[in-house]
Each structure stands twice: as structure tokens, then as C-alpha cells.
Structure 1
Amino acid sequence: MEFETLVQSRRSVRGFKNEPVPRAVIEAIIESAKRAPSSMNTQPWHVHVLTGHPLEEVRRRNMSEMAGGAKVKRDIVSHGEYQGVHRTRQVDIAKKLFGAMGIA
């Protein structure tokens, strides 16, 4: 598929069925997402999938907090500086990039 076709054919859905997403669909989405590029090869993502009672508990709590006037929470929060294995990956890829460009 051409990129232009992909962009022009995308859509946003804000109405949802009250049916669980099949596990095979969730696994296929995660399998595709694992191939997404990350900044400086840091791969900082962690995936959490909720279904059943745990999902219903999160929904209940969110609705209760919203109805109570709680401040909006960002879905994606800044992670700050990379640390641990993520920092190591960041530095390693930078060294390779600079080395390929002839920069010591």
C-alpha cells in the first residue's frame, strides 16, 4: 500500500461496540506494533492489556473520578531522561551513527 493511500484511508472511530476484542486480534496488533521504530533504538515501550474484571474496574474508577471532578490525566506522560538499558541503547546507536559518519 502506498503511504498516501494509507493516510487518506485512515479514520477515527469514537463509537465502540460492547463486545470484547478477540485475543488473536490483540496479539496481532501487538505483534505489528513491536516492529515500530523508536527514537535512537531505545525501545522504551511497555504494553499492558486489560480484559474482563480488571478492565471493568479501571473503567469504573475512571468514571467515578471524572464524575467527581478529578483533573484530566494525560494518556502519554513524559518519561524523562532514558536510564538503564534504554540509555545504553541510545548511546550505542549514537556511537554507530557517528562512527558511520566518521565522527570520533
Structure 2
Amino acid sequence: MSESALFRDVVRNRHSVRSFLPAPVADAVIRSVLEEAQLAPSNCNTQPWQVHIVSGAKLDVLSRRILADEEAGRHTPDFSFGTYPGVYGQRLKAQGAAYYQAIGVSREATEDRRTASLYNLKFFGAPHVALLFMPAVGDNVRVAGDVGMYGQTFLLSLTAHGLGGIPQTMLGYYADTIRGLLGIEPSMKMLFGISFGHPDKTSAANRYRIGKASIEENVIFHS
């Protein structure tokens, strides 16, 4: 099989995993993923990402603290969360509807939906989470773009290793609590996290797929 075909398979097989097996990933494999993610491009090779991998007992403590924050309505995001307009909002709603349908939660089951949403803060049962921080530079857009490219490379490497991950912007709502627990400087701003591990292939949450827009919807050719 050609290298391009291998890459095609990795890209097509990558999806957001929302249920994991509890078994941890071997340290050597995590290091391999990190080494590959480190090759991501960045503006002038600044590599402006700071990644914190949280596992084991520390991950359990982190989950309890951010769940307590959510219960108390205590949110400390470093970046604002706005409303997606037009077709972008429609795609967001379609993804949510497909996910809840896959796990058997109806639109009317308010409490069940709340429970499913809070599973985000239990890292979907993953044994590890990578928390992505960045320095504040200008309007932050260019640095955030670099961190996004790092995150995608990390996710593709997970897939190539037979693992799975899910980027979670929701974790950014608890930036102060996460910084406090992990001893991170306030100058480092949290963008998002990636929960990762071995996918639970028996879970209904991992058996559905959401379609992607056609190229024609997102790409404009000029000649």
C-alpha cells in the first residue's frame, strides 16, 4: 500500500470517540504520538503550544473539580464562546441530534441529555486527556490556529496508532480550575482538550458517523 493510501485511510478513519475503554495507553505509545504531533506546522516555527497530559488519580481529581464547577455555575473560559450563524449552527444542531439519537436519548428527555452532556467532564471515560495551552499573542488568532494544527496532527497520530480521541472545547470553560490543579501559569491560556485512549467499539456512541459537507460548500476556485 502506498504512503498516500495509508494517509487517506488514517484521515477517513479518524472520528470523534465518545466512549473509551479504561485501560491506559502505554507510555511509549503516548510519547510516539507526542513526537509526531510535535512536527505540526506553526507560524515561523514558534511552536506555541504547551500540552499537559493528565492520567490516573490526577485525572479523577480533575474530573471531580470541574464537575463541581459546573454544578456551581462557575465558568472561567479564557476565550469567548459565541453562537454559530446560519449553516454553521445547522451543522452543530445536526451533529447533536445524530449523537443523541445514536445513544437513545430523545429530545424530550431533559435529564438524560444533561447526564450525557456531563459525560464530557468525565472525559468520556478516557484514561488520558491532553490539555492544550498557549501564550497570549496579539488577538490570539494566529497562535490558536497553530495550536489547532497541533491538535489535528495529534488526533491523526492517535488514529494511526489504533487509538481514538475527541477534541473538547467544553473543557475550556474551567481554565482557572485546571490551571490551579496543575500549577500552570496564568499567562498560559487554555484553548481545548483532547480526551484519548482505546475506543470502546461496542458503544453506540462510537458506531454512528456524521456526514461532512461537500467540497463545493466550503471551497471556492479562482482562475
Fold similarity call, TM over 0.5 = yes
Which of 31, 56, 60 does residue 60 from structure 2 map onto? 56
**Once the two structures are superposed, what CA deviation does each residue of 1:55-81 show, in whole Å capped at 9, x if it has no partner?**
221111111111222237367677432
Greater Rg, structure 1 or structure 2? 1
Structure (1/2) with the larger strand percentage: 2
Letter in 2 for 1:53: A
Which of the residues 13, 19, 26 maps onto 1:15? 19
Instruction: Give the letter aligned to residue 41 of structure 1.
Output: N
> What's 1:80 paired with?
136
Change (3 A) 1:72 1:23: same
| 2:43 equivalent to 1:39 | yes
Question: Which residue matches 2:217?
Answer: none
Kindly provide the CA deviation profile for residues 71-95 of structure 1, in whole angstroms up to 9, marking residues without a partner as x. 373676774327xxxxxxxxxxxxx
Structure 2, unpaired ranges of 5+ = 80-130, 139-223
The CA deviation at 1:35 is: 0.9
Following TM superposition, by how much is the alpha carbon of 1:36 offset from its aligned partner in structure 2, in angstroms?
0.9
Q: TM-score, normalised by structure 2?
A: 0.31
Aligned partners of 1:59 and 1:31: how far apart in 2? 27
Question: What do you get for the CA RMSD once the two structures are aligned?
Answer: 2.7
Structure 2 CA distance for aligned equivalents of residues 39 and 62 of structure 1: 33
Report the count of equivalent residues. Answer: 82
Percent identical across equivalent pairs? Answer: 35
Deviates more, 1:44-53 or 1:28-37: 44-53
Structure 1: give runs of 5+ residues left out of the alignment: 83-104
Shift of 1:33: 0.8
SS in 1 for 2:63: helix
Return the offset for 1:32: 0.7
- Length-normalised TM-score, structure 1: 0.60
SS in 2 for 1:47: strand
